[in-house]
Amino acid sequence: MSNFVGLLQNENMKIYRRSSAKVMMIILLGLILAAGLIIRFGSDQPKSDPHWKQTLIQDNKVNQKQLAQMKGNKQVANYLKKTIAINKYRIEHNLKPSPGETIWNFMEDAAGNLILVISVFTIIVVSTSIASEFDTGTIKLLLIRPIYRTEILLSKYISALLFTVVCLITLFIASWLLGGLLFGFGGVNEAHLVYDHGTVYQSSWTLAIWKGYLLNCVSLFMTVTFAGLIASVFRNGGLAIGLSIFTMMASSIVITLLGRYDWVKYVLFANTDLTQYTTGTPIRDEMTLGFSLAVLAVYYILFIFIGWAFYTRRDIKA
């Protein structure tokens, strides 16, 4: 076991000592800063509304009317129901909505977009970690140690996922600090209102942010595993990076186009967005959270098994 910790230390050293790791961190921080500045100075912050209860009551009347006219579109109906419920809850519990952007809103916005960036970075890290040693020839000196190839591959995979965790923690801390500086730390104690099957309750924003990170990371996790598979099979980092980023980007468009076919539910990327069961609408009505988790598990086992088989069995000719 202590041996495996040593392997993780090795892989971490090889990830973070590369200049590319520093560049990625700088890009990540730069994007957070840019997003903050654009939101803060790109639009006027609305003033605080002293008659906010009346405004909310007005809003809800409009929403109710719209809801009554709604037919068919479940997604919009759900959104309206949620807005009405939360507004009611605010009025009843005297919870004034903050005007404009708050520290937590900013963190939520930053998460949605920047986890895509973190996905791309982790794809690069995992592909480089697995494939580049074949290009440089260092794989020969790496594999002639009393360690099975399975352990080497596992240490590379885990250290790449740890890189994701490091990025997420960086994202959390940086967006919290920047959000506080730009939009005021006053909003820190604000409660997070959750709408769950018709009822509303208060929850912690920190929890909500990390839950968002986790849900967004399902797609990241599967794409990174896919990149690892390609890198193991073809021993070509560029191919692994290109193919997995392309797949990830193209998937949402393709899935939407294929939404009317029954079999689309078995496609990996129809199941990676688990928010379709929490806040959104499933791609097909018959899909459930359990179904998606099962599909994800099957793909995952397949990826891991094929990648492992190729990495451990093939001759090293590099």
Partner 1 sequence: MANNAEAAAQPAVRLEHVSKKIGRKTIIDDLSFDIYGGEVFGFLGPNGAGKTTTIRMIVGLMRMTQGNIYIQGHSIKGDFKQAIRQVGAIVENPEMYKFLTGYQNLIHYARMIPGISKERILEVIKLVELQGRIHEKVKHYSLGMRQRLGVAQALLHHPSVLILDEPTNGLDPQGIHDLRNYLHNLSREEHVAIIVSSHLLSEMQLMCDRIGIIQKGKLIGVETVNDFIEKGSSKVRIQVDDGRLAAQTVKDKLAIDAVFIDDTTLEVPVEHEKIPVVVDTLVVSKIKIYSVIAVAKSLEDRFLEVTGGKSVE
Among 29, 85, 147, 208, binds partner 1 (CB under 8 A): 147
Judged by CB under 8 A, does residue 138 bind partner 1? yes
Q: What is the distance between the alpha carbons of residues 244 and 273, in angstroms, rounded to a whole number?
A: 16
Q: Is 146 in the site for partner 1 (CB under 8 A)?
A: yes
Owner of token pair 């967005």: 273
Of 29-37, 137-145, 188-196, 286-294, the segment contacting partner 1 by CB under 8 A is 137-145
**Least distance from C-beta 120 to partner 1, angstroms?**
21
Q: Which of 145, 165, 181, 249 binds partner 1 (CB under 8 A)?
A: 145
How far apart (Å, rounded) are the C-alpha atoms in residues 40 and 204? 24
Distance CA 89, CA 202 (A): 10
Of positions 69, 71, 92, 136, contacts partner 1 by CB under 8 A: 136
Count of residues that bind partner 1 according to CB under 8 A? 26
Separation between Cα atoms, residue 174 and residue 261, nearest integer Å: 42
| Residue 68 binds partner 1, judged by CB under 8 A | no
When asked if residue 148 is in the footprint of partner 1 (CB under 8 A), the reply is yes
Q: Looking at 52-60, 62-70, 135-143, 256-264, which segment touches partner 1 (CB under 8 A)?
A: 135-143
Dist. CA 166–CA 155, nearest whole Å: 16
Site for partner 1 in 5-64 (CB under 8 A): 6-7, 9-10, 13-14, 17-19
Q: Which stretch binds partner 1 (CB under 8 A): 40-48, 72-80, 146-154, 170-178?
A: 146-154
Among 22, 61, 65, 140, binds partner 1 (CB under 8 A): 140
* Least gap, CB of 311 to partner 1 (angstroms): 13
Helices 149-183 and 2-16: crossing angle in degrees, nearest 10, is 50
Smaller CB distance to partner 1: residue 13 or 70?
13
Instruction: Confirm or reject binding of residue 312 to partner 1 (CB under 8 A).
Output: no
Give the start-end residues of each E strand in the chain.
192-196, 199-203
Distance CA 41, CA 204 (A): 28
Angle in degrees, CA 99, 46, 279, rounded to 5:
45
Residues 252-289: b if buried by 16+ CB within 10 A, e if exposed: eeebeeeeeeeebbebbbbbbbbebbeeeebbbeebee
Cβ nearer to partner 1, comparing 42 with 146:
146
- The closest of 220, 221, 240, 223 to 311, measured between CA atoms, is 240
* Closer residue to partner 1, CB minimum distance, 129 or 219: 129
Binding residues vs partner 1 (CB under 8 A): 2-3, 6-7, 9-10, 13-14, 17-19, 136-138, 140-141, 143-148, 313, 315-317
